[in-house]
Chain A
């Protein structure tokens, strides 16, 4: 394989990670506010279908993307209403919505299956795209890929460097304290859940109008992505930069799977296709195992240098969710 091919492969990884990034960053924002959007797998399928349908019917890409975002925001609004106003379990509501949205994408998407549709044009950035190596990697992409870089950066700046971002952290960590300092916790949670949903909703069109252009119903190959994205959110420790690292790693491993597949003809392709899932379990294990009680006990029994090294390693990988994640807030 030539260097050129590897570079193009890597550029493809950056593009393939774009929809995952929208999903993961949207989920991170929602969960930072304390609300889990477990519907993500269904939301991505439904927004992919709806945006493709709109783009095909109107021949307008912008309307397609807006539709995707709208679908994401509406599903998130249902979640926010059930969780914040009606105090129902976030897991139950999210899981049911994941199933409903998947069935809806199937049912309503029937007329659009396998239709030829518009596709987001390739948009190299003049000047920047001629830079050796970096140009091919970063600047010969389409608009949504550029947006995905920008989103990671903006989300990180917002959460850690701005006042509203600090408030967002507060309503997920210590809602009572944020309330005392004058935040309308539940209204903010509504806002960030819907905002997060609108961003998650961009993942669908980024697939159906760009990365995997078209709609093929259950054969679109998107089913399961949302669950992976939820796991990446945890892996990312609710930090946009670490989450982006997770998304790129996932896209890279998927690409690697395709590249090495011909070298192992003995392994059926179905096995490599599910490889991300055991990997997802493994990464969650690495991220969470430091919190387990028996690990602490075992570590304490080890000789000092080994113990210190392992403890440091576990601490680096460990991620703890916002303290009030999934807990309804009542002001009185």
Chain B
């Protein structure tokens, strides 16, 4: 029976993937495109060459770090939609420290390390705002977080066009680039930093053990499952929620910091690149389990990079990869509901 039900679960999951592919194919057909061409281009554009694959890893790094953070807030039963803004504030804090120290005699390695820490602090601080609004003001974290996301974007644009504008013409292209000693070292001719990759892997490992093997993780789960019961059993619930927000914010901030020091080497208008919302999708898809976060984040990163050349080659908007990612999550949720219904019916019959 056990083996049988695992087989059924697997069957339902395959069904979800097929449904998502089916719907995306229909949408491609509706737009008058050749679905096979589109898929071929996405695959070729993501794993077709070493360069492409290293770009996939560049996207994978901030995504995985963000997902690692989100696993903490999801475990605590929180919808941290403000994660996008937390990435942005991380990037802003990192830029701030780099600007502050770039003309001093501080060793570059120390500047980079400090800037990464500043990014984590900035993200945690921004997350604590959403946490405080929820804890002390009763404002649902979804709305608090969304509002703060828009504010974070506005701050970025204000900085780029105002106090931090490039000498000469200010543009949405971003602030002045930092000198190369302040970049997180990357592979030659590539934007891929093995340091950043290492940090991302470390992040997910830390979160895995935090959730699986510690008393903190256990209590956090209790808060997420039933906060009233946890409170009655002596878990300081609001402190735990607040801590979950700040840990997630710190991870998101690290993702933003890496976007600045390793990828763009400056602050740009769209510094978060939507990795926050994408991270929420990945976390939902892996059903909040750390182990699966790595392959799924890699897959979503590949879709993002693979979609880049669609507008150039096939004149298709690259948002089709977002549709595929979204429908995949939607169908996994639906199929999970259908599976539970199915199992219940089978259980009732026995």
Given A86-B341, A103-B326, A108 and B333 contact (CB-CB distance below 8 Å) = no
Are A92 and B334 neighbours in the complex by a CB distance under 8 Å? no
Across-interface contacts of A85 in B (CB, < 8 A): 337, 341
Q: Which of B294-349 contact A (CB under 8 A)?
A: 316-317, 319-320, 322-323, 326-327, 329-330, 333-334, 336-338, 340-341
Across-interface contacts of B291 in A (CB, < 8 A): none
Are A273 and B133 neighbours in the complex by a CB distance under 8 Å? no
Confirm or deny: A277 has a beta carbon within 8 angstroms of a beta carbon on chain B. yes
Are B147 and A280 neighbours in the complex by a CB distance under 8 Å? yes
Per the bound structure, the CA–CA distance linking A85 and B136 in Å amounts to: 35
Are B30 and A108 neighbours in the complex by a CB distance under 8 Å? yes
Given A92-B284, A231-B143, A268-B157, A289 and B137 contact (CB-CB distance below 8 Å) = yes
Of A20-28, A93-101, A167-175, A192-200, the one with at least 4 CB within 8 A of chain B: A93-101
Per the bound structure, the CA–CA distance linking A104 and B319 in Å amounts to: 7
Are B143 and A284 neighbours in the complex by a CB distance under 8 Å? yes
Smallest CB separation, A268 vs chain B (Å): 6
Q: Which of B198-249 contact A (CB under 8 A)?
A: none
Across-interface contacts of B11 in A (CB, < 8 A): none
Among B143, B161, B341, point to the contact of A280 (Cβ < 8 A). Answer: B143
Q: Which of B11-45 contact A (CB under 8 A)?
A: 27, 30-31
Are B337 and A281 neighbours in the complex by a CB distance under 8 Å? no
Which residues of B are interface residues toward A (Cβ below 8 A)?
Answer: 27, 30-31, 79, 81, 133, 136-140, 142-144, 146-148, 150-151, 153-154, 157-158, 161-162, 277, 280-281, 284, 316-317, 319-320, 322-323, 326-327, 329-330, 333-334, 336-338, 340-341
Could you list 20 further interchain pairs (A-B, Cβ under 8 angstroms) beyond the known A107-B27, A270-B157, A292-B137? A82-B330, A86-B333, A86-B341, A88-B336, A92-B333, A100-B322, A100-B330, A106-B317, A107-B320, A234-B143, A268-B162, A270-B154, A270-B158, A273-B154, A277-B146, A277-B151, A281-B139, A288-B137, A289-B136, A292-B138
Question: Which 10 A-B residue pairs are closest in the complex by CB-CB distance?
Answer: A86-B337, A288-B138, A100-B326, A103-B322, A274-B154, A277-B150, A106-B319, A103-B319, A281-B147, A277-B147
Which residues of A are interface residues toward B (Cβ below 8 A)?
Answer: 38, 78, 81-82, 85-89, 91-93, 95-97, 99-100, 103-104, 106-108, 110, 224, 227, 230-231, 234, 268, 270-271, 273-274, 277-278, 280-281, 284-285, 288-289, 291-292, 294
